[in-house]
Structure 1
């Protein structure tokens, strides 16, 4: 029987290939001049962070910042496959219950102490307890160290997706010193110490985060690919400034005040693209219409959710939000094309508007004109513009909506208050594994508690062959288009302006990597 692990990597035991000298980042921004070490890279972020504890926050700005500070046992290549990071090799048992990691030796923490197995054990125990992915799929697991260079995670049930789960960079399974974890409280760690290329220097809330080059950094080897391979801190400092005004981020990037202007508005795309001073870099994300399934109109009303799916013209909605066809793809897949976990199942129901079918489903749903409370924000202009288009399309089939415009911070708070909304648009980076999306979890936005999802997730994790796993992902996507827990709108490009004085700007499937950046002279 063909082993499932061959889908995860070439063999079930994967050893990090040694290529000798560390390579520079594989960023795509064009640049001129001679790369030099030193200097400070200034990044203008679109929002502030509430925590620098990577297991306590899943915010993009925190995740992308902390990627230079913290590292995990395994990580993701550009195509979404798994690669070693702090592990030099790993082995997964045939029953997908036991994960054995051989650790890289000589890795230093930012406090100067050498990483030991006890640090990894404490970190993974904390990740299993605190993170949504860890607590969902690894509850009841034990983490132990049979010798100084080995850590074993033993699950009571099969987790064929376990390596993907541990490689996901949202609420990263960050390895920290045991001493830091022992002092952590319910609000998080009080010291920000990892093994990454940069170490923590300062955090001024609502103003900036500064990271400094870690002189004793021990890099993995091999060509940089996504978040795997060589990492090297060329610059002395990374300074992340919180600049919530999009125009200021844009003008700052064009003037050279910032080397990187993160997350620009789609309306700024043409101006950035026309500039001779910056390159436009993009991160592919998915946007989805989420239904409140805990209470209200959509609770236990699959027909009404199906009616809305049958109503919506995703081509019109995505165009209304993103304006330029370069910035979106009408793709309803849970994973991007080329990803090893991609499924094509159920996509015949995506972007297939049928007014007659929608009206019939509305009638069958028992809907009788109640107003749907639809939250949106102008902080992300595409969300507001798409909400207006959706409102118009739903009106054509007799569904009434009341759009409530909030600032993004307030919307995030209300997202987890079930008495405050019925429907809203949100965006997500692609998950390392589709069963791990927050919107599929009982505690995630929308409160999905359908037992069929749990049954499918368990079948995927119990799979022992590639064919069984593929069948599971096909079942998952078919379930998605039948149960309609939420609706995929499109895959879109979140754009950033990167100075042409920068080289080594890297990207993976879950946002940018800043650690290989080098300035040009």
Structure 2
């Protein structure tokens, strides 16, 4: 495992790793955040995209949520009573929760939301173990499982495609068509897909009384700001210019040269975050040649991850072939491979590939385009002909979840390794990501969800990593980080999986 975390980045990490002195919180003010892309949907059940989480998790909440260390904790639920056989969960709901439309949240809303997600949510596999969902009282929901699932509360609290609670009438709508009405500390104002999403403080929001502080996606969500606008600025230079001119107060993803230039400027705070995501390359298994494991292995052997990451994420990357982040109990070096051009050519010769052009879809952010461009050059060495097709994230993600129009797709895989093994395996279940069902992966997902011990789960996850490597189902190129740069006027901001705007204020 090789890390490229420059002295500059290490210095920045040390500089921001301090406990802020007590400051007087100020009410009011409007924050603008520069984001790379527009969210593909504001229906929380419809997308697992990072840009969707950035916005949606300010407006929507879940029964259980992940704390700062990714542990599942109660959020809209007061807690859960679990039957001795592990098959029945009775959730007591908080009684003081109001939706943005003024309706009080009740068990019917919760039951309808869970039913909707398990039937068609972007990560519906997380709730596959559910047998029935019942509104068993005005403020009580009972969930019965088909079999014991050790990861059920973890799955329920997943922020990847949040299992958000929405009004029952919204839950009756098809996936992708629900209005953005949630219970979160901010409520929807407007969405202009070519420009921005704006949200504002929800005046009737009551922070969870069980918590005193901000804690991951849970905790006390206290809002001091009047509004937050997420402005979509794909070009890195334009995001930096907007920050430096005062048009935005937070650049959610900046580049290394700008971070270095602003590190000593008292008007800004530079925050390095590593790891933030894995750079994953997907193959379309529904179409030749991606359907051929020989071709996929040829690609794996031909590419040089070091060069790809060094070009795409200078100063802030880590070569790591594991499908979870370092420090996890499930981390290992399994699946590591070496570049071997001769072996790559031999594997390619066994495949049916004849030199035809292959579509490599990629969103229009600079690192993603760089990854595709370097891979294009590397694969040309063995005779693989790549045609890079660049579009915005909503367009690319729409194509990437269909069986046609693409052969390769690269993007970040960030929240899944943060959550753990079940969430890492889930996107590949029923062929959602690779577009063809893989019985081995589906079987391992079932096993890891019922295995109670960490040791047993690790053995199962090792099998998953071995399978991903042997069959080259997809490629984990390495971990990348990012530099977030905030205006010094933005107080008490702490980097996390999303740019949380509760607990912060403007000075």
TM range (shorter): 0.7 to 0.9
CA distance in 2, matches of 1:413, 1:492: 24
Task: Determine which of 306, 313, 319 is the counterpart of 1:315.
Answer: 306
Q: Which secondary structure does the structure 1 equivalent of 2:214 belong to? A: coil
CA shift in 2, pair 1:131/1:86, >3 Å: same
Q: Which moved more, 1:229-238 or 1:218-227?
A: 218-227
1:492 corresponds in structure 2 to 480
**Is the contact made by 1:129 and 1:139 (CA closer than 8 Å) also made in structure 2?**
no
1:503 corresponds in structure 2 to 491
Q: Which secondary structure does the structure 2 equivalent of 1:128 belong to? A: helix
Task: Determine which of 37, 52, 66 is the counterpart of 1:47.
Answer: 37
**Is the contact made by 2:130 and 2:143 (CA closer than 8 Å) also made in structure 1?**
no
1:336 maps onto 2:336 in alignment: no
**Structure 2 counterparts to residues 31-46 of structure 1, below 5 A:** 34-46=24-36
CA shift in 2, pair 1:385/1:245, >3 Å: closer
**Is the contact made by 1:207 and 1:241 (CA closer than 8 Å) also made in structure 2?**
yes
**Structure 2 counterparts to residues 425-440 of structure 1, below 5 A:** 425-431=410-416, 432-437=419-424, 439-440=427-428
CA distance in 2, matches of 1:95, 1:357: 51
2:499 corresponds in structure 1 to 512
1:414 corresponds in structure 2 to 399
**Structure 2 counterparts to residues 435-514 of structure 1, below 5 A:** 435-437=422-424, 439-508=427-496, 510-514=497-501
1:145 maps onto 2:135 in alignment: yes
**Is the contact made by 2:45 and 2:176 (CA closer than 8 Å) also made in structure 1?**
no
Task: Determine which of 384, 396, 399 is the counterpart of 2:383.
Answer: 399
CA distance in 2, matches of 1:162, 1:444: 20
Report how far residue 439 of structure 1 moved.
4.7
CA distance in 2, matches of 1:428, 1:145: 35
Q: Which has the higher contact order (CA 8 A, sep 6+)?
A: 1
**Is the contact made by 1:293 and 1:448 (CA closer than 8 Å) also made in structure 2?**
yes
1:304 maps onto 2:295 in alignment: yes
Q: Which secondary structure does the structure 2 equivalent of 1:263 belong to? A: strand
2:8 corresponds in structure 1 to none
CA distance in 1, matches of 2:258, 2:207: 37
Report how far residue 93 of structure 1 moved.
4.6
Report how far residue 86 of structure 1 moved.
1.1
Residues 49-75 of structure 1 show CA distances to partners (whole Å, capped at 9, x for unaligned) of: 343221123332232112111100111
1:362 corresponds in structure 2 to 348
Report how far residue 488 of structure 1 moved.
0.4
Q: Which secondary structure does the structure 2 equivalent of 1:141 belong to? A: strand
1:385 maps onto 2:376 in alignment: no
Residues 195-251 of structure 1 show CA distances to partners (whole Å, capped at 9, x for unaligned) of: 211222333443332222223322221432322222100112112223344322211
**Structure 2 counterparts to residues 184-263 of structure 1, below 5 A:** 184-185=173-174, 187-190=176-179, 192-220=180-208, 221-263=211-253
Q: Which moved more, 1:353-362 or 1:78-87?
A: 353-362
Task: Determine which of 279, 284, 301 is the counterpart of 1:292.
Answer: 284
Residues 240-278 of structure 1 show CA distances to partners (whole Å, capped at 9, x for unaligned) of: 223344322211111221111233345544334454322
**Structure 2 counterparts to residues 254-293 of structure 1, below 5 A:** 254-265=244-255, 268-282=258-272, 284-293=276-285
CA distance in 2, matches of 1:103, 1:223: 21
CA distance in 2, matches of 1:204, 1:307: 43
CA distance in 1, matches of 2:170, 2:407: 41
CA distance in 2, matches of 1:450, 1:115: 39
Report how far residue 496 of structure 1 moved.
2.8
CA shift in 2, pair 1:189/1:298, >3 Å: closer
CA shift in 2, pair 1:506/1:179, >3 Å: farther
CA distance in 2, matches of 1:131, 1:172: 9
Number of aligned residue pairs? 484
Point out where structure 1 has 5 or more consecutive residues left out of the alignment: 1-25
Report how far residue 321 of structure 1 moved.
1.1
CA distance in 2, matches of 1:380, 1:489: 17
Q: Which secondary structure does the structure 2 equivalent of 1:61 belong to? A: helix
CA distance in 1, matches of 2:246, 2:221: 25
**Is the contact made by 2:431 and 2:438 (CA closer than 8 Å) also made in structure 1?**
no
TM-score (structure 2 length as normaliser): 0.86
TM-score (structure 1 length as normaliser): 0.84
CA shift in 2, pair 1:361/1:497, >3 Å: same
Report how far residue 96 of structure 1 moved.
4.7
Report how far residue 101 of structure 1 moved.
1.9
Residues 399-438 of structure 1 show CA distances to partners (whole Å, capped at 9, x for unaligned) of: 3222323223543343244342322322222213444457
Q: Which moved more, 1:313-322 or 1:135-144?
A: 135-144
CA distance in 1, matches of 2:325, 2:183: 30
2:6 corresponds in structure 1 to none
**Structure 2 counterparts to residues 155-170 of structure 1, below 5 A:** 155-170=145-160
Report how far residue 95 of structure 1 moved.
5.2
Q: Which secondary structure does the structure 1 equivalent of 2:141 belong to? A: strand
CA shift in 2, pair 1:106/1:233, >3 Å: same
CA distance in 1, matches of 2:58, 2:46: 17
Report how far residue 282 of structure 1 moved.
4.9
Q: Which secondary structure does the structure 1 equivalent of 2:218 belong to? A: coil
Residues 63-113 of structure 1 show CA distances to partners (whole Å, capped at 9, x for unaligned) of: 211211110011112332212111122244565533332222322222333
